[in-house]
């Protein structure tokens, strides 16, 4: 039986908007196993973005518990959360979030800088990662000189820079055409199946979700349906 890597237990997130309380999450419970490929789906306003913030240690819940590798991170300070994020979780975003003045190589190396790793080691690791995503010949190009699909592959390489246990992909194909999006999802699927990475993707696209082992459907800040995608399970 695979162990839980991230577990949300009855998580609520309440935002105060003037005099109005908005319940973005209403008792969300999720159990993500080590090496699983999970997709979270739901319409706009279902709580997907807030769920990403909780899973990715970008925010803390109003109430409930979040366990990462069995440790409760619900009460950590911002600096402590940042440390957890840097080591445990790699992020891939819809907007790529690459720094335009840096080359692909420098963008990939950036997260390693914050882990106090020497320059030579950073360059070696970043070069290896760009070769993995088949961009070894584009490593000295800046984002504006790359296609959308190439930029997203740089973002995938960057997400792997600190060898995280979990890759969190927020609408990873949202800015890509369907063919390029399929290529990006194949990369993520390979990371899951060949490298054993835990992948969590948040999407509204059923073509993206079909790559996952399991789909959790959100509505009004809680899970309303679960679907096992794995053949033979």
CATH number for the domain harbouring residue 88: 3.40.50.300
Average pLDDT across the chain, whole number: 89
Flag whether 217 is in a domain. yes
Q: Does the model's pTM come out above 0.75?
A: yes
The answer to whether residue 209 scores a pLDDT higher than 80 is yes
**What is the average pLDDT across 112-133?**
88
**What is the average pLDDT across 180-184?**
87
**What is the average pLDDT across 202-221?**
91
Flag whether 17 is in a domain. no
Flag whether 176 is in a domain. yes
pLDDT band for 231, please (50, 70, 90 cuts).
low
Flag whether 64 is in a domain. no
* pLDDT, tens digit (0-9, with 9 covering 90-100), for 11-37: 999 998 889 999 999 999 999 999 999
Least confident of 116-120, 152-156, 158-162, 167-171: 116-120
Q: What is the pLDDT of residue 128?
A: 93
The answer to whether residue 173 scores a pLDDT higher than 70 is yes
Share of the chain above pLDDT 90, in %: 53
How far is it, in rounded angstroms, from Cα 61 to Cα 135? Answer: 39
Flag whether 233 is in a domain. no
The answer to whether residue 233 scores a pLDDT higher than 50 is no
Total of domains in the chain: 1
| 4-17 and 20-33 strand pairing | antiparallel
Flag whether 16 is in a domain. no
Flag whether 71 is in a domain. no
* pLDDT, tens digit (0-9, with 9 covering 90-100), for 42-67: 988 899 989 988 988 888 899 999 99
**What is the average pLDDT across 147-153?**
92
The answer to whether residue 151 scores a pLDDT higher than 70 is yes
How far is it, in rounded angstroms, from Cα 208 to Cα 47? Answer: 18
> What is the CB-side half-sphere exposure of residue 8 using CA atoms within 13 A?
27
Q: What is the pLDDT of residue 106?
A: 95
How far is it, in rounded angstroms, from Cα 191 to Cα 185? Answer: 10
Q: What is the pLDDT of residue 81?
A: 82
How far is it, in rounded angstroms, from Cα 127 to Cα 197? Answer: 20
Domain of 184, in residue numbers: 35-59+77-228
Task: Specify whether the CB–CB gap between 174 and 155 falls below 8 A.
Answer: no
Flag whether 147 is in a domain. yes
């Amino acid at each position: 039986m695979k162990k839980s890597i991230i577990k949300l237990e009855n998580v609520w997130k309440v935002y105060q908007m003037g005099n109005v309380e908005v319940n973005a999450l209403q008792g969300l419970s999720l159990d993500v196993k080590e090496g699983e490929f999970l997709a979270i789906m739901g319409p706009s306003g279902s709580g997907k973005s807030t769920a990403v913030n909780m899973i990715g240690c970008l925010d803390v819940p109003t109430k409930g518990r979040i366990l990462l590798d069995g440790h409760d991170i619900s009460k950590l300070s911002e600096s402590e959360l940042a440390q957890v994020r840097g080591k445990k979780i790699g992020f891939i975003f819809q907007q790529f979030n690459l720094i335009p003045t840096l080359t692909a190589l420098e963008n990939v190396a950036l997260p390693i800088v914050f882990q106090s790793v020497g320059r030579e080691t950073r360059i070696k690791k970043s070069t290896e990662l760009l070769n993995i995503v088949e961009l070894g010949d584009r490593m000295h190009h800046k984002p504006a000189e790359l296609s959308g699909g190439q930029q997203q592959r740089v973002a995938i390489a960057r997400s792997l820079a600190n060898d995280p246990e979990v890759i969190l992909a927020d609408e990873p194909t949202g800015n890509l055409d369907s063919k390029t999006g399929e290529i990006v999802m194949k990369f993520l699927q390979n990371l899951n199946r060949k490298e054993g990475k835990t992948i969590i993707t948040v999407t509204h696209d059923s073509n993206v979700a079909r790559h996952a082992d399991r789909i959790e459907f959100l509505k009004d800040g809680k899970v309303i349906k679960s679907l096992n995608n794995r053949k033979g399970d």
